[in-house]
């Protein structure tokens, strides 16, 4: 499914870096900033669902403090059995790297309670497009739009994240929901 990426207005200014074709930067704009425009397009290759987990460590209690030991993490939601802790840790690390987000930020975004979930949108074919202001209401997260008779998704992205997407550093966008029909369970593209 095609996605149009809208650069949000608040915060830092996103702009094409002068003299470096194809690279984008923040704040130092020789021309008009891209904030408040649809300035990129991508394909949503697939979407994978992840959930927040909280479990007690096997021995259950810290000997020094007497407190229960709780481990926080995330796990891919699959239609078959789970994995072990080291595979979860590797997948979490890779997901964080591809989404350009820290583990604690990701865990906080996931809701911080056992069983809450989020979605990893795997983006491909990202390209800058001529900036266009969007006349209709801009979504806080995403919404469907029609593009040339085809259903697409309009996604609001903060400037710092959109810069990383456009520069090829970020290939996964984390969201709390996803377009219907895109959710997959195909080894996630995370656990190589």
Give tens-digit pLDDT for 46-71: 888 887 765 555 555 555 655 554 55
Give tens-digit pLDDT for 143-180: 999 988 999 999 999 999 999 999 999 999 999 888 88
Kindly indicate the confidence band of residue 73, based on its pLDDT and cuts at 50, 70 and 90.
low
Give tens-digit pLDDT for 105-153: 877 776 666 667 788 899 999 999 999 998 788 899 999 999 889 999 9
Residues contacting residue 140 through CB under 8 Å, at least 6 positions apart: 156
The torsion angles phi and psi of 145, rounded to 5 degrees, stand at: -140, 165
CA count, 13 A, side-chain hemisphere, 164: 15
Sign of CA dihedral 145, 106, 37, 137: positive
Spans of all domains in the chain: 2-46+122-175, 47-117
Distance CA 16, CA 18 (A): 6
The torsion angles phi and psi of 150, rounded to 5 degrees, stand at: -120, 140
Mean pLDDT, residues 72-87: 54
Express the helix, strand and coil content of the chain in percent, nearest 5 each. Answer: 15, 45, 40
Instruction: Name the pTM for this structure.
Output: 0.79
Residue scoring higher pLDDT (39 or 23):
39
Residue scoring higher pLDDT (166 or 89):
166
Q: What is the DSSP string of 20-73?
A: STT-EEES--SS---TTEEEEEEEEEEEEEEEEEEEEEEEEE-TTT--EEEEEE
The torsion angles phi and psi of 7, rounded to 5 degrees, stand at: -85, 120
Q: How far is CA 90 from CA 47, 83, 131, in A?
A: 19, 11, 38
Mean pLDDT, residues 18-24: 59
Distance CA 171, CA 32 (A): 26
């Amino acid at each position: 499914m095609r996605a149009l990426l809208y650069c949000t207005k608040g915060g830092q200014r996103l702009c094409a870096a002068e003299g470096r074709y194809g690279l984008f930067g923040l704040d130092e704009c020789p021309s008009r900033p891209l904030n408040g425009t649809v300035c990129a397009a991508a394909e949503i290759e697939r979407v994978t669902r992840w959930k927040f987990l909280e479990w007690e460590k096997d021995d259950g209690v810290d000997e020094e403090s007497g407190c229960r030991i709780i481990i926080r993490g995330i796990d891919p939601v699959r239609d078959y059995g789970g994995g072990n802790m080291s595979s979860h840790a590797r997948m979490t690390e890779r997901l964080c790297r591809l989404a350009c987000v820290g583990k604690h930020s990701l865990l906080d975004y996931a809701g911080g309670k056992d069983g809450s979930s989020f979605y990893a949108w795997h983006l491909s074919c990202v390209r800058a497009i001529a900036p266009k202001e969007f006349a209709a209401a801009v979504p806080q997260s995403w919404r469907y739009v029609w593009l040339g008779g085809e259903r697409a998704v309009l996604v609001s992205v903060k400037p710092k994240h959109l810069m990383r997407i456009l520069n090829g550093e970020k290939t996964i966008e984390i969201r709390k929901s996803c377009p219907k029909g895109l959710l997959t369970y195909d080894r996630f593209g995370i656990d190589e």
